[in-house]
A and B are shown apart, each in its own frame.
Chain A
Amino acid sequence: MFYRENGQFKTSYKADQQAFAIPQDRWAIVAIVAFAFIGVPLLVDEYMFRAILVPFLILSLAALGVNILVGYCGQITLGAGASMAVGAYASYNFLIRVDGMPALAAILLGGLMAAAAGIVFGAPSLRVRGLYLAVATLAAQFFWDWAFLRIKWFTNNSSSGSVSVADINLLGWTINTPTDKYLFCLGILVAFSVMAKNLLRGNMGRQWMAIRDMDVAATVIGIRPMYAKLTAFAVSSFYLGVAGALWGMVNLGSWEPAAFSIDRSLQLLFMVIIGGMGAISGSFFGAAFIVILPIFLNQMLPLVGTLFGLDVSTALVSHVEFIIFGSLIVFFLIVEPHGIARLWATGREKLRLWPFPH
C-alpha cells in the first residue's frame, strides 16, 4: 500500500540511474541518516554511544570494506584485521612523526597505507582462488601481527607494544565527548557508504561483480582480472584501514596489536556472511548482529532470570549467551544463507504487494 511503484514513471536517464530509484527508498534513507545525525544524539545516553553505537559504526565501516572484497568481488579474505591494524598503526605514526598533521589526513593516509599493503597481499589472488586464497590472505594477518608486535619503530619504542594518542582534532573541533565521537564516525561512515554505493554501481563495481560471477567469462568480455582484483583489494583495504584508524584513535584511544587479531578478521567475515554478501545494507545488519546481540543477551538474561525468581550467576549468563548466539548464527545460515539483507529484501518484495498479494 505504502510501497507501490505504480505510477512512478521515469522520464529521463538521470532519474532512472539514481542511486535509489524508488522515492520511498530515497526518503527512507534520508530520514534514517537525518535521524542518526539529529535524533540519536538527543535520545541516547553515554553508555549507548561509547559501548554500542561507536563500535557499531566503526565495525560497519570495516564490514563494508570486507563486503566489497568478499561480497562483490568474490575474493575471500582472512586478513581483514591486518588491514585494520595497518591503518591504525600507519595513521598513528603519521600523527606523531609529522608535526602539525591533521587527524583526518592521518586517518586517510593510514587508509592509503592499508590499501598499498592490501595490493601486495592481494597479489596471490591472481593465481589462487577460494579456500586457497583465504589461506594466502592469512599470511597478511600473521605478518602484520608479527610486525606490530616485534618491530619497535612502528610502536614508537613503547615498552609494552601498546600505543596511545591524544584526543583528535578536526579543524578546531576536538573530538572528545561520546557525542562528538559518534558524529565523527557517523560522518565518515555516511561519506564512505555513499562512495561505496556509487563505486559499486559504476564501471569498477561491475567489473568486480563480473569477476565474482565467473572470472573466465569476465576475461572474455574484456575485463582485466589483475586490474579488477587488485582494485578490489585496494579499495577494500582502504576502507578497512580507515576503520582500523578510527577503532584505534576514536574508540579505544590506546591499543595493542591484539585489538586487530585473527579473531577480528573472522568476526568481520562472519558479519558479512550473516549480514548478506553483496549488499551494502548487509554490512550494517551483520555488524549490528555481531556487536549488539551478545551485549543484549548479556543484559537480558539476568532480567529474564529474575522474572522467574532465579538468581542467575555471571558465569551462567555468559555460557547461555554463547549458546543462544551460536544457535542464532546456525539458524540464520540454515534458514537464509544469503544473510539478513536478503530477508530484508524479501520483506520489501512482500511489502510491494501488500495488502493484496497474488
Chain B
Amino acid sequence: MKLRKLAVAASIAVMGLSAAALSTPAFAQAKGKAAATSGQEQFFPLLVYRTGAYAPNGVPWANGFLDYLKLTNARGGVNGVKMIWEECETGYATDRGVECYERLKGKHGGATAVQPLSTGITFALTEKAPVDKVPVVTAGYGRSESQDGSVFGWNFPLIGTYWMGADVLVQHIAKKEGGFDKLKGKKITLVYHDSPYGKEPIALLQERAKMHGFDLSLLPVAHPGVEQKATWLQIRQNKPDYVFLWGWGVMNSTSLKEAQATGYPREKMYGIWWAGAEPDVKDVGDGAKGYSALAMQHGAEPNSKVVKEILEKLHAKGQGTGPKEEVGQVLYMRGLISSMLSVEGVRKAQERYGKGKRITGEQMRWGLENLDLDQKALDGMGLGGVMRPVKTSCLDHMGSAWARIHTWDGKKWNFSSDWYQGDEKVLRPMVIATAGKYAEEKKIVRRTADDCKK
C-alpha cells in the first residue's frame, strides 16, 4: 500500500514536472527576446559534445571555438559589438542536436550562425536553415555539394569539403608514385565510419578511380568504431597499396592499433583531417609513427601568435576554456578557426549593414558570402602561417581549397608536404551535378546573380 502511494505521488510529480518543462522553454525564449531589444550583442548557439563516444575530439574543438569568442571580446568585440553564446550538449546525436538548435535559435534576438560539428546534424539543419534564415557553417565537414551556394544558400562548408580532402589525398599519392598515370592498377582501400560523414568521399574517390584506373575497395566500420577486426583481416588479405582512413573519435585510434596488430605499414595510411589530431594518435604513441593525415590548412600550432595571445589574455587570467596544455592542438585550432570565420562573417556584414550594430542571420549570410580574408587580415589576427587567404562568393561557399599533409612522429604532428589545391576540374562538375539533383528533389530554384546581390 505504501508503495502504491509512493507510485501515485511519483506519477503526479512527473506530470507536474513535464507541465513545467513545457512552459520553461517558452519562458526562456520570451526572456531572450526581451534582452535582444536592449542589447547590442551577437549571439552564437554552440552545439557541442563534451560527453559520449566522440567527446575526446569534441571537447578540444569546443574549447577552441569558445576561446576565440572570448578573445574577440577581450580585443573589444567586433567594432564594439560583444559576442555572447550558450552551450548545448548534443552528444553527436542528430535528434538531440536538432532539439538544441531549436532551443537556442531564437534566444537573445536570434542565432547569428550555427556550427554543429556533425555531418548528421548538418543534414538535418540544412532543411531548417532556409526557413529560419540561420547560416549553417560547417568548416571542413558537412555535405560536399553544399559548396554550391546557388542551391545551398545557407550552408557554408568553409575552407574544406570531404570531396576536396579526398581529392588532395589522391593528388598526394599520385605525386609520391610519380604521376597520375602510375596510379593505374594500384589498390586503394577506404576504411570509413558508416555514416553520412564516412560516405561523403566515396563519390569523389570513385570518380578519380575511373579517371586513373586504380582499384577502390570500401570497408565500412559501424558506429562507434571499436570493432574492426574483420575490416583489418580483409586489408591483410587484399594488401592494398594505400589505406584512406575516414574515422572519427575512438575509431581512429582503433584503426591504428589494428594496423599495428596486422602489420600494415602506417606510412601507407592517410587520414582525413578529422583523423589527424592528438586524441587519435596519442594513445597509440609510437605505434602510429609514420601515419599521415590531411591538415585542413592548419596543423598543431602551439607557436602561432593567436595562441600566444590567448594564453596571455585568457588562460593567464584564468578565463580560458579547458586545460592550458591543449591550447594550440589540432582540434583546438580547428575550433578556433571555425569560430574566427563566424566572427569575420559578422565583421564583413557590419561593413555593409552598419558598423557597431547587431547582425541578423540574413545579414550574416551576406557577410559569409563575401568573406575576403587576405594575408594582411590573417596576420593581423595572428593567424599568419596558420592558414591561407579565404575568399568566398555567392556561388562558392567554400572559399579556399588548400590543404597539406602532416605526419605523426610518435610525439607530435609535423608537416610533411607542400600545399595542395583541390582540382576544380574534377570537383566543380560533381558539385554542380549533385547540387542540381538536390535542387530537383527539394524543388529549389537556383539563385541567380541578382539574388546574390541582395
Q: Which residues of A contact B (CB under 8 A)?
A: 44-48, 50-52, 55, 96, 149, 159-162, 164-166, 176, 252-256, 258-259, 288-289, 292-293, 295-296, 298-300, 303, 313-315, 317-319, 328, 331-332, 335-336, 340, 343-344, 346-347, 350
User: Nearest Cβ distance between residue A344 and chain B, in whole angstroms?
Assistant: 7
B99 touches A295 (CB 8 A): yes
Q: Are B7's CB and A343's CB within 8 A?
A: yes
CA distance A96 to B443 in the complex (A): 12
Contact B195 A346 (CB under 8 A): no
Q: How far is the CB of B373 from chain A (nearest CB, A)?
A: 29
With both chains docked as a complex, state the minimum distance between the C-beta of B218 and any C-beta of chain A, in angstroms: 10
Chain A residues near B20: list those with CB within 8 A: 296, 300
Instruction: Kindly identify which residue among A44, A292, A295, A332 contacts B26, using a CB–CB cutoff of 8 Å.
Output: A44
B103: which of A55, A299, A346 is its contact (CB, 8 Å)? A299
User: Within the complex, what minimum Cβ distance (angstroms) separates B77 from chain A?
Assistant: 23
**Which listed residue, B7, B48, B123, touches A254 by the CB 8 Å rule?**
B123
Report the bound CA distance from A161 to B422 in whole Å. 24
Residues of A within 8 A of B8 (CB): 343, 346-347, 350
User: B99: which A residues are within 8 A, CB to CB?
Assistant: 51-52, 295
Q: State the CA gap A194–B242 with chains docked (Å).
A: 59
Q: Does B304 sit at the interface, judged by CB under 8 A?
A: no
Interfacial chain B residues near A55, Cβ < 8 Å: 95
Contact A96 B441 (CB under 8 A): yes
- Would you list which residues of chain B between 28 and 58 have a CB under 8 Å from chain A? 28-29, 48, 50-52, 55
- B453 on the interface (CB 8 Å rule)? no
Among all A-B residue pairs, the 8 with the closest Cβ atoms: A296-B21, A253-B127, A315-B50, A159-B203, A51-B102, A160-B196, A335-B7, A318-B89
The answer, yes or no, to whether B442 is at the interface (CB within 8 Å) is yes
Chain A residues, Cβ within 8 Å of B87: 314
Known: A51-B103, A162-B123, A346-B7. 20 other contacts (CB 8 A): A47-B106, A48-B25, A51-B99, A149-B194, A160-B203, A161-B196, A164-B441, A165-B442, A166-B441, A166-B442, A255-B123, A256-B120, A259-B94, A288-B18, A292-B18, A300-B21, A300-B24, A314-B87, A328-B14, A343-B7
Q: Give which listed residue, B24, B52, B223, B434, contacts A296 with CB less than 8 A.
A: B24
The residue that B196 contacts in the complex, of A166, A256, A318, with Cβ under 8 A, is: A256
A127 CB, nearest partner CB in chain B, Å: 30
Chain A residues near B194: list those with CB within 8 A.
149
- Closest beta carbon of chain B to A237's beta carbon, Å: 22
What residues make up the interface of B, taking CB atoms closer than 8 Å to A?
3-4, 6-8, 10-11, 14, 17-18, 20-22, 24-26, 28-29, 48, 50-52, 55, 59, 87-89, 91, 94-95, 98-99, 102-103, 106, 120, 123-124, 126-128, 131, 143, 194-196, 199-200, 202-203, 220, 223, 434, 438, 441-443
Q: Are B25 and A313 in contact (CB under 8 A)?
A: no
CB pair B120–A258 under 8 Å, yes or no, is: yes
17 examples of A-B residue contacts, CB within 8 angstroms = A47-B26, A51-B99, A160-B202, A161-B196, A161-B199, A164-B441, A253-B128, A254-B123, A258-B195, A293-B14, A300-B24, A318-B52, A331-B10, A332-B10, A335-B7, A335-B10, A336-B7
A62–B88 Cα gap in the complex (Å)? 28
Contacts of B10 in A (CB 8 A): 331-332, 335
Decide if B21 touches A299 in the complex (CB within 8 Å): yes
Cβ-defined partner of A252 (8 Å) among B14, B48, B127:
B127
Known: A48-B26, A51-B99, A149-B194. A254 touches B127 (CB 8 A): yes
Task: Give every chain A residue within 8 A of B143 (Cβ-Cβ).
Answer: 160
A residues in contact with B126, CB < 8 Å: 254
Assuming A253-B124, A343-B8, is B442 touching A52 (CB within 8 A)?
no
- Which single residue of chain A is at the shortest CB-CB distance from B131? A176
B89 touches A164 (CB 8 A): no
A252 to B48, CA, bound (A): 20
Q: Is the CB of A293 within 8 A of B195?
A: no
Residue of B nearest to A343 (CB): B11
Q: Which residues of A contact B131 (CB under 8 A)?
A: 176
CA distance A252 to B121 in the complex (A): 10
Q: Which residues on the A side are within 8 Å of B17 (C-beta)?
A: 296, 300
- Complex contacts, A314 vs chain B, CB 8 Å: 48, 50, 87-89
Q: How far is the CA of A292 from the CA of B15 in the complex (A)?
A: 11
> Chain B's nearest CB lies how many Å from the CB of A129?
30
Q: Indicate if the CB atoms of A52 and B22 lie closer than 8 Å.
A: yes
Q: How far is the CA of A305 from the CA of B359 in the complex (A)?
A: 31
Complex CA–CA separation, A332 to B14 (angstroms): 11
CB proximity of A178 to chain B, nearest CB, Å: 9
A345 to chain B, nearest CB (A): 11
The answer to whether B51 and A319 touch across the interface, beta carbons within 8 angstroms, is yes
Contact A340 B26 (CB under 8 A): no
A166 to B131 Cα, complex, angstroms: 13
Collect the chain B residues with CB atoms within 8 Å of residue A44's CB.
Answer: 22, 26
User: Are B127 and A298 within 8 A (Cβ)?
Assistant: no
Q: A47-B29, A159-B202, A318-B50 are in contact. Are A252 and B124 (CB under 8 A)?
A: yes
Q: Could you tell me the distance between the alpha carbons of A315 and B127 in the complex, rounded to whole angstroms?
A: 28
**Closest CB of chain A to B320's CB: distance in Å?**
14
Tell whether A165 pairs with B441 under 8 Å between CB atoms, given A314-B50, A318-B50.
Answer: yes
Least Cβ–Cβ distance between A296 and chain B, in angstroms: 3
- Residue pair A318, B51 in contact (C-beta under 8 Å): yes
**Smallest CB–CB gap between B26 and chain A, Å?**
5
Given that A45-B29, A314-B88, A318-B89 are contacting pairs, would A166 and B51 also be in contact in the complex, using a CB cutoff of 8 Å?
Answer: no
Chain A: minimal CB distance from B199 (Å): 4
Do A340 and B102 form a contact, CB below 8 Å, given A164-B442, A313-B50, A318-B51?
Answer: no
Instruction: Quote the shortest CB–CB distance from A92 to chain B (angstroms).
Output: 10
A288 to B17, CA, bound (A): 12
- Nearest-Cβ distance from residue B322 to partner chain A, whole angstroms: 11
Contact pick for A47, options B103, B442, B443, CB 8 Å: B103
**Are the C-beta atoms of A315 and B89 separated by less than 8 Å?**
yes
Residue of B nearest to A95 (CB): B441
Chain B residues whose C-beta falls within 8 Å of the C-beta of A160 in the assembled complex: 143, 196, 199-200, 202-203
